[in-house]
Structure 1
Amino acid sequence: MLAVTLSDLRSFGVELETAGVACMWLAVILRAPTAARSRAQRPLWLAVMGAAVAVTFHLEWVNELVHQAVTPTHLTALARNLFGVLASAAVLDFVLMAARGRHTYSLYGFAGSVIATLTWLDTTADSHLHHTIPPAGPPSPTTAYWAVLVTVNLGTNVVCAAACWWYSRASHNPSLRAGLRLFGLGAFFAGAYWLLSALYIGIRLPWIPSTTPLLLGCYALARASAICVPLATATALTLRRIRLLRKLQPLWRDLINAVPEIHLAQTHQHRRLGYLRSPDPLDLHLYRTVIEIRDAILSLRSYIPPTVLNDVLTHLAHTTSPPADTDPHVTACWLRIARHTKAKGTPPLHTNPAPPLLGGTDLPSEITFLCHVAKADTSPHIRKLATHLSHQHTPT
């Protein structure tokens, strides 16, 4: 029963490892354009690509394909381990750079010395094909080779996991904090893999080889997720801007039609989702939309005398809506009245009316307020009240 359970665990681990490797390569491809443009992102991208190469060569079917394509050689396993050492140094360098703001170039010198040592231990060992720890007998190529490999990888991953956890707690940047913790999680799984490898050299417990693919799969998924944090953040920000523009567009369109002179530039926004077809950045579209709505509100305020505004406040004072919705509802109502008044040709007031509420002292709070106004503008109750007050106060 135990053998069946371990076999199932290994099968699941191999499938997870394959999925993790695929995710790593997908992440490497998706982040390639950013790495090409950003010098700061390039070392991280190269580190994850090196790790992807190393984990890829852990897959049995990949090794079989390589051995079918070329003469079977121990150099395949050696390259896998050398890529892993270099990738560990590069990832640790990235983590320390994110925390301290400067590279730790000595890590690459250390990695170079380890690579040279491993290469020497491999090439001077007896003839061998695989780098493995068999169920019985000495490791291949040598115990010394595995001692160096395990010590270096275990040490770098422990330091990386600790540094990621420590510096992520002190970071105020959510994206950086998430990235560091995912890198730390990947280092934890990699460290667990090398710790079990060290244990297996001394004590050949049969369950250890069955768990290693699972650990490598979790490591690959964590690394792939970590490198995609900036992409996920940018995607989430883009979707949020699109959602805000969609909320504001009906109100913006009505106000532009009422006060066309405040239109800053001829854009595609009058079309449905036209901002997606424009070459301008979405944040510029959002900022321009807010400016134009605000300018329209300031312009239309001169068409609302204090008596009309008092009537709006009186009618909405006893509604069942939450108190936080009162100001957006009042604004939406008098804006409808002002548009109707201006459309009938009524001249603006000669006095300086009180400035309207615009929702806050910064752009995010103002956008939130205007989204509430846009939502209130679609309310049947607000539309009915605005129509009633328009007929009551606007001369025929």
Structure 2
Amino acid sequence: MTTPTLVAGSLWLVTVWRLPSIRHSHKQRSLALTFAALAAAMTFEVPAVRDAINDNVGIIGLPPLLKHLLGVTSAAYLLDFVIAVVRPQGLIRRVRQAALGVTLPLMLLFYALANWTPGGPVRVGEGQHAIYPVLYTAVFTLYIGTAMVVATWLFLSGVRHSRNLLGKAGLGFLGLGTLLGSLYALQRVGFVAVEILTGAGYPDLQNQVSTALKQLAILSIVLGACLPPLSVAVEYVRGWNTLRRLQPLWSSLTGAVPFVVLSTSIPKPRVNLRLDRCVIEIEDACLALREYVSAEVQERARVFVSEQGIPEEEVDAVAEASWLAVAVRSARTGSPLKGVEYPALGVTGKDRLSELSWLCSVSRAYRDSPVVAEFDHLEDVLTSHRSGGLERGSS
């Protein structure tokens, strides 16, 4: 299998993968059409396809023309995509539309007027019409180069605004790909200039440099486009894992105060929404349960946990789980307390990530720590002794 065949096949796989996203949003549609045009363009570099067109159509240079037209279209869609991502308010839309509307007809016009040399890629022709291949190459290169420079600036400027590491890496690889596309346009200008000024052409070297830059640019763009969806998958798995870790705490707390559970059901695939609801219900349950214990219980829990040799960074979470365990038992067997100071919740005043980390630590301690079970047992015994003393005093 030749390299062009492998590249074209890979692009078609990415195109098929991205095709369903056409109906999702403007930026997703632009990205899908970018890969569709790029895959079609690279298909004309496959030897079997190129030879079949040359043998059956009989028009010299038709595969390169089709490849270049599709390449310009792909660059236009890619620029549209990065603007939708980085500058959703838009950027010189009419200018971009006018540039594309002028470039494609000019390429067709100059192609029709030129006397292309047979065989190989499009290059400067000979004779009285030699200027038209130069103009054709100039128009194509100018559009590709300008589009890639603007896209590189937008992609790299958007890296710092991305919210996660994979998103930053994706924009970075996309920016690298468009930067290589800019170098591809620059080297084409350089080789044409050398041939015009000196009369010496280096078709083999030009072909090698063009192919290398083009393939590296495509590889970088494909990789950059694949990383953001991978980021979504990572976020999904992380959310599912966090939800699983919070489940024991949620089950116990809401079992004691079931009225905090919302009645609306959420589909299982909506992991992030289910996680948000789980956190809200845990916090509501903590607010309800704090009315069944006093602040003195919370303080005794902290002192008890500190005396058990628990690492300092885990003391707060284990103490929180300890008084919650007492509150759950009290809610199931008693009534809310009146005229006492209630415990302060440890989850308040935290940002989203800190909140999830804190609740996971509390859930782990609530489920696994023997210190929590021991403190709950001691508080149960203490409550029983107090109740027994009150009963004897009353008698």
Sequence identity, in percent? Answer: 25
Shift of 1:207: 4.5
Distance in 1 of aligned mates of 2:361 and 2:5? 47
The corresponding residue for 1:299 is 288
Equivalent pairs, count: 371
Aligned Cα root-mean-square deviation (Å):
3.6
The corresponding residue for 1:99 is 87
Shift of 1:289: 0.8
Aligned CA distance change for structure 1 residues 340 and 20 (closer, same or farther; 3 Å): farther
The corresponding residue for 1:194 is 185
Which residue of 156, 160, 181 corresponds with 2:172?
181
Specify the code of the residue in structure 2 equivalent to 1:214: A
Asked whether 1:42 is paired with 2:29, we answer: yes
The corresponding residue for 2:223 is 225
Asked whether 1:150 is paired with 2:137, we answer: no
Which residue of 348, 351, 355 corresponds with 2:339?
351
Aligned CA distance change for structure 1 residues 342 and 93 (closer, same or farther; 3 Å): closer
Shift of 1:115: 1.6
Q: Judge conservation of contact 1:358–1:370 (CA < 8 Å) in 2.
A: no
The corresponding residue for 2:16 is 29
Distance in 1 of aligned mates of 2:76 and 2:102? 12
Aligned CA distance change for structure 1 residues 340 and 153 (closer, same or farther; 3 Å): same
Shift of 1:72: 5.6
Residues 270-301 of structure 1: CA distance to partner in whole angstroms, max 9, x if unpaired? xxxxx7xx267323211211122112222222
Which residue of 319, 341, 345 corresponds with 1:330?
319
The corresponding residue for 1:251 is 249
Distance in 1 of aligned mates of 2:356 and 2:88? 35
Q: Judge conservation of contact 2:44–2:64 (CA < 8 Å) in 1.
A: yes
Q: Judge conservation of contact 1:78–1:131 (CA < 8 Å) in 2.
A: no
Shift of 1:136: 12
Residues 245-274 of structure 1: CA distance to partner in whole angstroms, max 9, x if unpaired? 11111211222333323221275xxxxxxx
Distance in 2 of aligned mates of 1:153 and 1:205? 20
Segment of structure 1 superposing worse, 77-86 or 167-176 = 167-176
Shift of 1:65: 6.1
Specify the code of the residue in structure 1 equivalent to 2:176: L
Shift of 1:81: 0.5
The corresponding residue for 1:55 is 42
Specify the code of the residue in structure 1 equivalent to 2:77: A
SS in 2 for 1:105: helix
Aligned CA distance change for structure 1 residues 86 and 41 (closer, same or farther; 3 Å): same
Which residue of 264, 277, 280 corresponds with 1:288?
277
Asked whether 1:112 is paired with 2:101, we answer: yes
Q: Judge conservation of contact 2:8–2:39 (CA < 8 Å) in 1.
A: yes
Specify the code of the residue in structure 2 equivalent to 1:232: L
Shift of 1:241: 1.6
Q: Judge conservation of contact 2:153–2:175 (CA < 8 Å) in 1.
A: yes
Residues 170-221 of structure 1: CA distance to partner in whole angstroms, max 9, x if unpaired? 6465587555433321111222223333444435175443343332222222
The corresponding residue for 1:272 is none
Q: Judge conservation of contact 1:45–1:227 (CA < 8 Å) in 2.
A: no
Distance in 2 of aligned mates of 1:109 and 1:135? 27
Asked whether 1:85 is paired with 2:72, we answer: yes
Q: TM-score, normalised by structure 1?
A: 0.78
Aligned CA distance change for structure 1 residues 168 and 393 (closer, same or farther; 3 Å): same
Q: TM-score, normalised by structure 2?
A: 0.78
Q: Judge conservation of contact 1:341–1:390 (CA < 8 Å) in 2.
A: no
Shift of 1:159: 3.5
Specify the code of the residue in structure 2 equivalent to 1:168: G
Aligned CA distance change for structure 1 residues 253 and 168 (closer, same or farther; 3 Å): same
Aligned CA distance change for structure 1 residues 315 and 51 (closer, same or farther; 3 Å): same
The corresponding residue for 2:112 is 123
Which residue of 345, 348, 368 corresponds with 1:360?
348
Aligned CA distance change for structure 1 residues 65 and 240 (closer, same or farther; 3 Å): farther
Unaligned ranges ≥5, structure 1: 1-10, 268-274
The corresponding residue for 2:390 is none
Shift of 1:381: 3.2
Q: Counterparts of 1:64-83 in structure 2 under 5 Å?
A: 64=51, 71=57, 73=59, 74-83=61-70
Shift of 1:363: 4.3
Q: Judge conservation of contact 2:27–2:80 (CA < 8 Å) in 1.
A: no
Q: Which has the larger radius of gyration?
A: 2
Q: Judge conservation of contact 1:359–1:368 (CA < 8 Å) in 2.
A: no
Which residue of 353, 378, 393 corresponds with 2:367?
378
